[in-house]
Amino acid sequence: KSIDLQNIHKTRPSAAALQLRAGATSTDNNTIPPPPPASNLSLLKFYFPCLALWISGPLLSLVDTSFIGLSAKAGAVGGAGSAAQLAALGPATTFIDGSLYLFAFLNVATTNLYASALAKGAVENTKNKSNKSGVEEKPGEGVVRTAAKTSLYSGIGLMLFLLAVARPLIALYIGPEAAASPGLLDAAHEYVKIRALSMPTSLLGGVLQAALLGAKDSVTPLVSILYSTIVNVSGDYLLVSKLHMGLKGAAIATLCAQLAGTIAMIPAARRKLLSKGSSLGLLPRWMTKRQPDEINAG
């Protein structure tokens, strides 16, 4: 029988397929090999701080609810007014949380892009690159700066939007019957207006936390959450329990807690994510004499 050499040539596996079968790694600089498997101990050290980060938000809201509820029970704020504030706290907190969830894609994108930049830098195994200003940069530094600036500007826009149209949106959110309840809409609107002032720092803190998680550091965000918890509990105790400011005091305490958490995270994020002499680039260029580029040179 005759053998068709052309058909045999067509059925031969390609070189790339042979490399995959043999488990060989490609020498192409654009490919990123998989990382070595992590040990169980290292996974546990990363998992538990991440778990604390995810449950910290609901716990902070639970602290506000507890202080408002206890003050209402004791009559410290005043019968019907305190009851209306307690009823308004639920939809007000979910309204603020929902506004923040609209920008959750910033955190996901930051973690993915920063982790990919670190992996690519490890594969290239080169020295830190320099930007146009002559400052040496770590891999992924441009991702952090761009994400931080985007989150800050998005937070400012969200803050202005909520301050302008929060009241009709809350009325639509809670429904006409609840909005007609005496004091409920006013209390929820007051809470949202105060919490809206924290939108820039909340989005910025979320992006920095996502970048730190991309760098496999889950302890630093946990420390900032600890600062937030201490400020929130102390503020609720002072403003709600002692000064009897009710829902307004709870909103101010949460606002200060979010500011404290973000401020506590910024120095650690600069040390771990940026090279010495670099900044997050949050200020406009006309306010700074020299600002590093937003993307790595090269």
- 49 with 209: CB under 8 angstroms? no
Coil, helix or strand at residue 54: helix
Mean pLDDT rounded to a whole number for the chain: 78
46 is written with which tokens? 């990363």
Average pLDDT for 272-298: 61
Contact 211, 150 (CB under 8 A): no
Residue in this structure with the two tokens 């149209």, named with its chain if needed = 165
Pull the structure tokens for residue 165: 């149209």
Give SS3 for 275.
coil
Residue 74 predicted with pLDDT over 50: no
Task: Give buried/exposed letters for 153-173 (b at 16+ CB in 10 A, else e).
Answer: ebbeebbeebeeebbebbbeb
- Whole-prediction pTM: 0.77
pLDDT class of 284 with cuts at 50, 70, 90 = low
pLDDT classification of 192: cutoffs 50, 70, 90:
very high
Contact 128, 172 (CB under 8 A): no
pLDDT of residue 279: 74
> What digits encode the pLDDT tens for the residues 245-283?
888 999 999 999 999 999 999 988 888 888 876 777 776
pLDDT at 4: 52
CA 62 – CA 5 distance, rounded (Å): 75
Pick from 237, 263, 248: which is nearest to 195 by CA?
Answer: 248
Place of tokens 């965000």: 221
Q: Which position has the higher pLDDT, 113 or 48?
A: 113
Task: For residues 70 and 59, give the distance between their C-alpha atoms in angstroms, rounded to a whole number.
Answer: 16
**Long-range contact pairs involving 102-106 (C-beta distance under 8 Å, separation at least 24):** 102/158, 103/151, 103/154, 103/155, 103/158, 103/203, 103/206, 104/206, 106/147, 106/150, 106/151, 106/154, 106/203, 106/206, 106/207, 106/210
Using the predicted structure, report yes or no on whether residue 162 has a pLDDT greater than 50: yes
Residue 223 CB-density burial (10 A; 0-12 exposed, 13-18 middle, 19+ buried) = middle
Those residues whose C-beta lies under 8 Å from the C-beta of residue 289, and which sit 6 or more positions away, are none
Q: Which amino acid type is present at position 51?
A: L
Comparison of pLDDT for 28 and 98, the residue scoring more? 98
Q: For residues 122 and 184, what is the distance between their CA atoms, to the nearest angstrom? A: 55
C-alpha distance from residue 64 to each of 85, 200, 228, 233, 245 (Å) = 11, 21, 13, 8, 12
* CA-closest candidate to residue 131, choices 287, 1, 274: 274
Q: Crossing angle for the helix pair 219-236 and 246-273, nearest 10 degrees?
A: 160
Residue 130 β-bridge partners: 136
